[in-house]
Amino acid sequence: MKYALFAICLRLVQACNNCGQGADGNPHHWDRQRRCDHTDYHPKCQVCEGVGGIPTGDENDEITLTSCTPVANASQIDPASLIKPVWASEWTVLNYHEVLIGKKNDPFCFQTFPGNDSAGKLCYRYEYGVQTYDFRHARALREDLVVPTVLGTLQTELLHHGQYMWVVNHFPWYELGIHQCICVQVSGGSYGHQNTSKKAIYPVQKNWTDQMFYIGREKLGVEYIDKVELLDHWAFGPHHVWSRPANGTIVRMWQPFNGLQVFVEPSGTNPGTVDPQKFADIPPSYCKKGGSPFRINCNDTGYYVAPKKDVSSTCSKDANCEATPADFKRARTRKPRDEYRASSFVNMSMTLNKWLTSGSAPVKECSEFDFEELHGLEAALYLLRDSQLDEVYQKVTDNRRAFNSTLADFQKTWTELQALTVGHKNQTQLVGVIRDSLCHEVVMWYVHHLAEDAKQLLGQSGVQIPLLPYQSHREGTGTCKGPVGSKTHEQICQKHEETVTCMSCHSDVYR
Ligand SMILES: *[C@@H]1O[C@H](CO)[C@@H](O)[C@H](O)[C@H]1NC(C)=O
Ligand SMILES: *[C@@H]1O[C@H](CO)[C@@H](O)[C@H](O)[C@H]1NC(C)=O
Ligand SMILES: *[C@@H]1O[C@H](CO)[C@@H](O)[C@H](O)[C@H]1NC(C)=O
Ligand SMILES: *[C@@H]1O[C@H](CO)[C@@H](O)[C@H](O)[C@H]1NC(C)=O
Ligand SMILES: *[C@@H]1O[C@H](CO)[C@@H](O)[C@H](O)[C@H]1NC(C)=O
Ligand SMILES: *[C@@H]1O[C@H](CO)[C@@H](O)[C@H](O)[C@H]1NC(C)=O
Ligand SMILES: *[C@@H]1O[C@H](CO)[C@@H](O)[C@H](O)[C@H]1NC(C)=O
Ligand SMILES: *[C@@H]1O[C@H](CO)[C@@H](O)[C@H](O)[C@H]1NC(C)=O
Ligand SMILES: *[C@@H]1O[C@H](CO)[C@@H](O)[C@H](O)[C@H]1NC(C)=O
């Protein structure tokens, strides 16, 4: 009998590997500090559990958990003395920080929105700024955020009204200062590429915190204000809210797969005022026809329209920068056609430059560019590239394959090389070699990794593309001539060799 019971217990334990771990079974196996939902969790969530912190990745230890000291559990506090967290119908929080967590749809996490479960790869995006909520008139929520990314600092406006959401990204100058609008229909499940027949999700209702359950009182470390505060811990499903016992002011919120939010403003989400201008432009003009040149999944009047195909690159809906059959044909052609080939370096640069000059973008001699400009241009091209073309190159391990590294890797390589030249007796010459190498790389990306439509877009924006340099540093005439001697020379010249490999395909000589 004893043994039989034991066997049943064992079976229960085995069958229950993932039950009591939230509605999605907690696929990343986060511990009870990182995740402890109020429902579907066993054992039940206690004081100082599910507190979260600043997450950086999906692994359980990829998070800096906040500090928490239990003060009292729910049964030790008189319920009549409790004030529920206040989520008023109108307020503006001028100082707001968050780590947004959402499904990963693109390598930069530009198009990331919180989902209804934690499955799959997630993005963790830190941002800060202003949050405005108006449930009385506009019935909308708006965030004006600053987002530090690998491509530099991005300004983002996020607007949620009805079942629609608009994300307007403003890229920094070296991303051409372009605006991009992403139109989203928020529906049950992931907010990413959704199935429109799913139930729509509207901006959070005022007083939504009325439904929260009390967990207990804690001394909790609050990120971004770097203070330990005595707070009441409330939960609803996977959502946790911490508010001040005296007046219910919300200080911090955590949802293990939606994000961390800290309201630095002393008034939190208490009743406040709203600037009506914030909601005067719905849908945002950037999302309508004639607005931003990069509109993703938006129709002419600025509403979400389902994408025909999943394109992960940041291309505009209008321009539909997907590679065309002609682009693919070019990608699969391993040897350049005769008119693109030539017999010497100078001759070859001139031949290829002839084609560049007759293309859709304005051009400028490589020698007229400086390092910063080329660096920025490279980032812009990375953003505009068509990843499907790279897949073709990767498959045949073609010299044109380029994007196995992140943009940060590319930029680090160049920045480090440039740093080597500082104070070097041949600084001017070496900087010239680096500039020429960058021109080669940028031209190769431009020619072989952008679909024709993206090239035209770039052309319209007035961005200049460098021409190929005429001086060969590999032929023994330039700075890389003969036994060059210094380590710095060698590193820079070796990188140069890598970037001019295109010449070995476009040349009649180096084969
Ligand atoms: C609350 O704390 C008291 C004292 O530590 C303990 O006896 C009680 O079981 C706790 N209640 C819950 C629901 O954890
Ligand atoms: C919830 O809404 C009601 C009605 O508008 C209001 O009287 C009440 O104060 C609100 N509760 C909170 C906690 O803001
Ligand atoms: C999330 O939403 C999707 C689509 O609506 C649904 O299939 C899935 O079961 C949901 N996940 C959870 C944990 O509710
Ligand atoms: C969308 O969801 C509905 C209901 O869940 C389903 O019947 C339909 O097949 C889905 N459509 C697509 C394109 O996934
Ligand atoms: C709420 O109470 C705290 C003290 O616990 C106080 O510092 C804060 O100003 C109060 N906030 C409001 C909006 O009354
Ligand atoms: C855009 O989509 C919205 C919502 O589906 C629709 O009402 C509107 O007519 C569409 N506009 C155009 C120009 O198709
Ligand atoms: C390249 O060299 C060939 C033969 O030497 C010559 O016919 C052609 O005009 C040259 N091209 C350019 C652009 O100078
Ligand atoms: C690119 O990276 C993948 C995964 O790291 C690797 O398997 C592949 O061989 C790499 N391709 C090239 C061309 O380096
Ligand atoms: C490096 O600089 C020295 C002194 O200015 C000069 O003599 C030499 O030719 C330069 N070497 C190269 C490879 O440019």
Q: Residue 21 has what DSSP assignment?
A: B
394 lines ligand 8 (CB under 6 A): yes
What DSSP string runs through 136-191? TTT-EEEEEEEEEETTEEEEEEEEEETTEEEEEEE--GGGTT-EEEEEEE-BSS-S
The token duo for 160 is 């949620």
Q: pLDDT at position 182, please?
A: 83
Q: Do 193 and 306 fall within a single domain?
A: yes
Atom of ligand 9 nearest to the CA of 489: 13
Q: Do 240 and 332 fall within a single domain?
A: no
Q: Do 102 and 158 fall within a single domain?
A: yes
Span between the terminal Cα atoms of the chain, in Å:
81
Q: Do 335 and 362 fall within a single domain?
A: yes
Q: pLDDT at position 2, please?
A: 38
210 alpha carbon, closest ligand: 2
Q: Do 342 and 215 fall within a single domain?
A: no
| φ, ψ dihedrals at 145, nearest 5° | -120, 155
Q: Do 481 and 360 fall within a single domain?
A: yes
Cα of 424 vs centre of ligand 9, distance in Å, is 10
Which residue among 275, 293, 318 closes a domain?
318
Looking at the domain assignment, is residue 291 inside a domain? yes
Looking at the domain assignment, is residue 139 inside a domain? yes
Q: Which regions of 212-302 does DSSP assign to beta strands (E)?
A: 213-222, 227-236, 239-243, 250-255, 259-263, 294-296
How far apart, in whole angstroms, are the C-alpha atoms of residue 273 and residue 250? 17
Which residue among 283, 318, 353 closes a domain?
318
464 SS3 class? coil
By CB atoms closer than 10 A (0-12, 13-18, 19+), residue 355 is: exposed
190 alpha carbon, closest ligand: 3
Long-range contact set of residues 396-400: C-beta below 8 Å, sequence gap at least 24? 396/332, 396/334, 398/334, 399/501, 399/502, 399/504, 399/505, 400/331, 400/444, 400/448, 400/449, 400/502
Looking at the domain assignment, is residue 464 inside a domain? yes
Q: Do 32 and 160 fall within a single domain?
A: yes
Q: Do 308 and 342 fall within a single domain?
A: no
Q: pLDDT at position 358, please?
A: 83
Please give the residue range of the domain that contains residue 342: 325-510
Cα of 117 vs centre of ligand 3, distance in Å, is 7
Q: Do 196 and 309 fall within a single domain?
A: yes
Could you identify the residue written with the tokens 């030249």? 421
Q: Which amino acid is at 22?
A: G
277 lines ligand 8 (CB under 6 A): no
Atom of ligand 2 nearest to the CA of 85: 13
Looking at the domain assignment, is residue 212 inside a domain? yes
Q: Residue 430 has what DSSP assignment?
A: H
Looking at the domain assignment, is residue 4 inside a domain? no
Task: Name 75's Cβ contacts closer than 8 Å, sequence gap at least 6.
Answer: none
Q: Which residue CA neighbors atom 7 of ligand 4 most closely?
A: 197
Which residue among 253, 283, 318 closes a domain?
318
Q: Do 163 and 123 fall within a single domain?
A: yes
Atom of ligand 2 nearest to the CA of 83: 13
Q: Do 123 and 270 fall within a single domain?
A: yes
Q: Do 83 and 207 fall within a single domain?
A: yes
Q: pLDDT at position 431, please?
A: 92
pLDDT tens by residue, the chain, 511 residues: 333 333 333 333 334 456 688 888 999 999 999 999 998 898 999 999 999 999 999 999 999 999 999 999 999 999 999 999 999 999 999 999 999 999 876 656 766 778 888 999 999 999 999 999 999 999 999 999 999 876 567 899 999 999 899 989 887 655 556 778 888 887 654 433 444 445 677 788 888 999 999 999 999 999 999 999 999 999 999 999 999 999 999 999 999 999 999 999 888 899 999 999 999 999 999 999 888 766 777 899 999 887 654 333 333 433 444 556 666 666 666 565 555 555 567 777 887 888 888 877 788 899 999 888 888 788 878 877 776 666 666 665 555 555 656 677 778 888 999 999 898 888 888 899 999 999 988 888 888 888 776 777 677 666 788 998 887 776 555 677 656 667 888 888 888 877 776 555 555 443 2
45 alpha carbon, closest ligand: 1
Looking at the domain assignment, is residue 292 inside a domain? yes
Q: pLDDT at position 392, please?
A: 61
Looking at the domain assignment, is residue 504 inside a domain? yes
Q: What is the pTM of this model?
A: 0.65
Looking at the domain assignment, is residue 330 inside a domain? yes
How far apart, in whole angstroms, are the C-alpha atoms of residue 485 and residue 497? 17
Q: pLDDT at position 116, please?
A: 84
Number of domains observed in the structure of the chain: 2
CA 293 to chain CA centroid, nearest Å: 19
